[in-house]
Structure 1
Amino acid sequence: MAKVKVKQEEALSVKFSHQMETGDQRSFDLYFFLPSEMWIDSKTLDEEAYYHSGIVGRRSYYSKGLHLPLVQSRFASLNKRTLEEFRLYLNLFAYQFAVAIETDAKELRQKSESQDFYPALNDLSEQVAQLLKKFRRNEPSEEKWKSYFEHADNYLSWFCEQQLLKTLAHGPRSAEHSDISEKVIALCRSENDYREVEKRYNSTSTRQDANRISNKMLLLRRLIQQGVVLKEELKPLGVGLKKFVTGLATGLVMLVVSALIFKAQGFFNGLTLTLLLTLAVIYGFREIFKEDIRNVMWRIVQRGRPRWSRILRDTTTQAVVAKQLVWLEFLRPQDIPKNVAEIMKHRHSQNKVDTTVLHYRIATKVTNKPFEAGYSQIQEQVNFNLVPFARHLERGKAKIYHESDGKISNESVERRYQLNLVAVLKDGKAPAEYARFKVTMNRSSIIEITESKLPDNINPFTIEQD
């Protein structure tokens, strides 16, 4: 089984996901080797701003196989379970179902060739229809449980319909595959009739107002996430230390300024215009260099320290599920770990260009206590948006010329960049495991992500790339 999954998300983002069990202690490092020609360093990219705007994480309970939580034999006798247990299993199924259909539909929309798009769309619609059917076979008969089931059923029906329609609308046009298009549209109509005619989940006024139906479904999604998506409490670290460094930097600057003022007063007799101008220059230089000195001192003190801490809680019981520390910083060449540097030495000679290294690290300690009933693992998904990286890239303006039978033609070519990415995974006291990827991108999208071979003396980890 793959320990880490790597996926391209949208045009310019990469997602990493992995699962952890109770008692796990895991650190996950990512080293982005950015070519110097991309003009990305600590002066052009603020790490803290990028963390809050460009790195999106989601942590939730996880169960293998979408159908497992609800449709297997453990739900054969619903009346033997408590209402809370039923709701937890139901939410887990509905949440993972929604995430899966969203992910699969997003990947499908990236296919531009009709011969690839329509067979995949047909498979997706069949899977959706089958899972919805299995889900509805387990509808509870007791009134106190029905409302939870109806909320999930209403949302899944609407969300699946929306994802299929959106995928079909953005797909390539093909008269050849009109039968598949009609089949998907028929499924969407069937789901619409199921919600509005058979079950009457939504009122007429809600159905006719796009804003109202959208907001209602957002509310239902939040209800489904209850108990599944973990509550996150993020706290910046080193706030007190930063204040101390600021005070120390100010004190050092004032010490130099005071010495210069005393020297100036001794040099000039009395209060003269020259003395006033000299004092103005001294105070001006103080304002110019005070921030620079503070920033240099803070970067030195902060180097190698975690920037944030995060506590993950169960939204139902408020119990602590895991604790995390997060690092994000630009590294100096001498700070790059030996094995990571060794991996990068094995690049092809033409790819050995000057780089800037951005390091992301997350260390997780999962509680030893059992999770809520039905949950055996938690899943972490971290999405890195590469738009801030692409912002500095040049657009392709070059042309390639061809000659054929005395006629000269040309075609425009795009400027592509390649960044290297080294991933390091370490579980407890086990040896660290490594992987290297090449991400080829231009200003508007990621062209491809390929895994590269590691040196023989480096231990690789199991990876799954979609």
Structure 2
Amino acid sequence: MSKVRIKQEEALSIKFLHQMESGDSRRLDLYFFLPKEMGINPQSLNEEEYYHSSITGRRSYYSSGLHLPLVQSRFVSQKKRTVDEFRLYLNLFAYQFSVAIETDSKELSQVEDLEKFYHLLDELSEQVIHLLKRFRRNEPSDEKWKSYFENADNYLSWLCEQRLLKLLAHAPRSSDFTEVSEKVVALCRAEALYRQEHNYNSAQTIKDPNRIANKMLLLRRLIQQGVVLKEELKTLGVGLKKMTTGIATGMVMLVVSALIIKAQGFFSGLTIALVLTLAVIYGFREIFKDDIRNAMWRIIQKGRPRWSRVLSDTTSKNIIARQLVWLEFMRKKELPEAVSKILTKRHSQNKVDSEIFHYGIHTRVSQKDFLAGYSMIQEQVNFSFVPFARNLERGKAKIYKEQDGKISNESVERRYQVNLIVALREGKQEFQYARYKITMNRSAIIEITESDLPSGVACMKEAPFEEELKGASPLAD
């Protein structure tokens, strides 16, 4: 299993997920090769706008399933802990549980095989029942701690109910699996009754979808307190950009001033011809000033990080990690040699001209100042392909076939293949690589498959990988 996981998130988005320990220094580069026929290029896609609108990330403390709070025997001794410690351990468990059920339900919603879907749905409901029971067995008796537990219990109960109902609402109908459907519905009813018996939500709140949704959003934020790291994003090169603008303006004005002096020497006195000439000169100045500035800025900015991010603990305010972020279009000759070598392994029919879109992130994790008991943070970054899909053509072609003298036709969707090469370097080690093929159309990502690498290229080494999935998550026993 790779140190970095690439997987589909929603219909038109992918995510990468990785974990880092204290003291780690990691450089991660993603090279997207977008076929030119998709129409994605520096003129149609602004990197900065794409970053702020279509790239979202989440960084938090992480603990493997073996160390989940409230499942550890040492957690039973609550009197030896402070209220703050109890809340932090509780929040970590609730947060990882909520992310786990979200991840598993999203994966399950993409399963098309009917029998496999209901089998996995049955497994998921069993895991939810099992873990909620274990969670509630550790309910504290102390009133000063009980409110934190009730907030987490309320949210987890509601979230599990909503995720299971959503799966059933969009599930393929089949009388063969009525028993599983009824079992899941019974679980959802039981959770709704449980919240009602404990008076977690008022009658007015339950009846109003807006109120209940906003209350649960608030509870989610309370659960994230102390677990999700605070982020401070800063745009780099602001001063350098201003200086570039000044230099570009100065260069343009130098040329304009020279032309004005020559024009005044050519025309005697203030004439209509002189006025028209000056108007043309100033018009050209306005046309080319921005082009010259943008060209200079692209040259100066090439290869430089665009943003810096500081990750800090929301409780102690200690800095946990620092990051530098790159996002830019590249030319083929600027690619690392190993990446170019990987591209040569493509089949001949896949060797189409592409625009290269590069995302890079360099993280330095602090060797200290972690929350007590934790030495690992997890980062998940989502890339939305919606801006890419806007430019794609809808399938208009038809395939005809003849059978028994009757001619029929079927519409054919237009598909595109995006190649993705991931490069990872830890500390001063050599880069390791992985290659993926992303097949998509205008409405969805069809599949993501990992491809073999050519000999001589270091493949991303296998390593134990903790993720919010069955077997390595709060949903595991």
Letter in 1 for 2:252: V
* Residue 354 of structure 1: aligned partner: 353
CA distance in 1, matches of 2:461, 2:65: 20
Other structure's SS at 1:69 match: coil
Q: State the match for 1:339 in structure 2.
A: 338
Query: Contact 1:403–1:409 (CA<8 Å) still a contact in 2?
Result: yes
- Unaligned residue ranges in structure 1 (runs of 5+): none
Q: 2:457 matched to which residue of 1?
A: 458
Query: 1:222 matched to which residue of 2?
Result: 221
Contact 1:112 1:171 in 2 (8 A): no
Q: Show the counterpart of 1:178.
A: 178
Assess if the C-alpha contact under 8 Å between 1:4 and 1:462 holds in 2. no
| Cα deviation code 1:367-410 (max 9, x no counterpart) | 01051123221000010111111111111111111122332221
SS at match of 2:303: coil
Whole-angstrom distance in 1 between the partners of 2:445 and 2:286: 43
Cα distance in 1 for partners of 2:122, 2:156 equals 19
Q: In the alignment, residue 230 of structure 2 is paired with which amino acid?
A: K
CA contact (8 A) 1:237 1:306 kept: yes
What is the percent sequence identity of the aligned residues?
69
C-alpha deviation, 1:334, in angstroms: 1.8
SS of 1:270's partner is: coil
Report the counterpart of residue 323 of structure 2 in structure 1. 324
State whether structure 2 residue 107 is matched by structure 1 residue 111.
no
Q: Aligned partners of 1:410, 1:117: CA distance in 2, in Å?
A: 31
Q: CA deviation at 1:69?
A: 2.1
Report the Cα distance in structure 2 between the residues aligned to 1:405 and 1:191, rounded to whole angstroms. Answer: 57
Determine the C-alpha separation between the residues in 2 that align with 1:2 and 1:433: 10
Aligned to 1:393: 392
- Matches of 1:108 and 1:413, distance apart in 2: 27
AA matched with 2:152: A
Say whether 1:169 aligns with 2:169.
yes
Distance 1:192 1:371 in 2: 38
Matched, 1:231 2:230: yes
Residues 66 and 97, structure 1, Cα contact 8 Å, conserved in 2 = no
1:69-113 deviation per Cα after TM superposition (whole angstroms, max 9, x unaligned): 221212121111222111111100000100110111112122334
- Give the corresponding residue for 2:37: 37
Structure 2: tracts of 5 or more residues without a match:
470-477
Matched, 1:63 2:81: no
Q: CA RMSD in A?
A: 1.4
The reply to whether residue 407 of structure 1 matches residue 399 of structure 2 is no
Q: Is the 8 A contact 1:7 1:14 kept in 2?
A: yes
Instruction: Supply the AA of the counterpart residue of 1:234.
Output: L
Cα deviations by residue, 1:34-86 (Å, 9 ceiling, x for unpaired): 11111111101000000001111110011111872221212121111222111
Give the Cα–Cα distance (whole angstroms) in 1 for the partners of residues 153 and 84 of structure 2: 18
Letter in 2 for 1:233: E
The letter for the 1-side match of 2:203 is T
Are 2:284 and 1:285 aligned? yes
Distance across 1 between alignment mates of 2:165 and 2:4: 31
Q: Could you tell me how far 1:231 is from its partner in structure 2?
A: 0.5
* Partner SS state of residue 52, structure 1: helix
Give the Cα separation in 1 of the matches to 2:229 and 2:379.
10
Look up the match of 1:367.
Answer: 366
The secondary structure found in structure 2 opposite 1:173 is coil
C-alpha distance in 2 between matches for 1:362 and 1:228: 22
Q: Distance in 1 between matches of 2:66 and 2:41?
A: 42
- Greater Cα offset, 356-365 or 390-399: 390-399
For 1:174 and 1:462, how far apart are their aligned partners in 2? 43
Q: What's the CA shift string for 1:118-138, capped at 9, x where partnerless?
A: 111111111111110010111
CA distances 1:326-369 after superposition (whole Å, capped 9, x unpaired): 00000112211111111111111111111110110000000010
Q: Which runs of 4+ in 1 moved over 3 A?
A: 462-466
Cα deviation 1:256-305 (Å, max 9, x = unaligned) = 00000011111111111011001000000000000000000000000000
- Counterparts of 2:173 and 2:403, CA distance in 1: 33
Q: 2:298 maps to which residue?
A: 299
Aligned length: 465
Q: Is the deviation greater in 380-389 or in 75-84?
A: 75-84
Q: Is 1:437 the equivalent of 2:436? A: yes
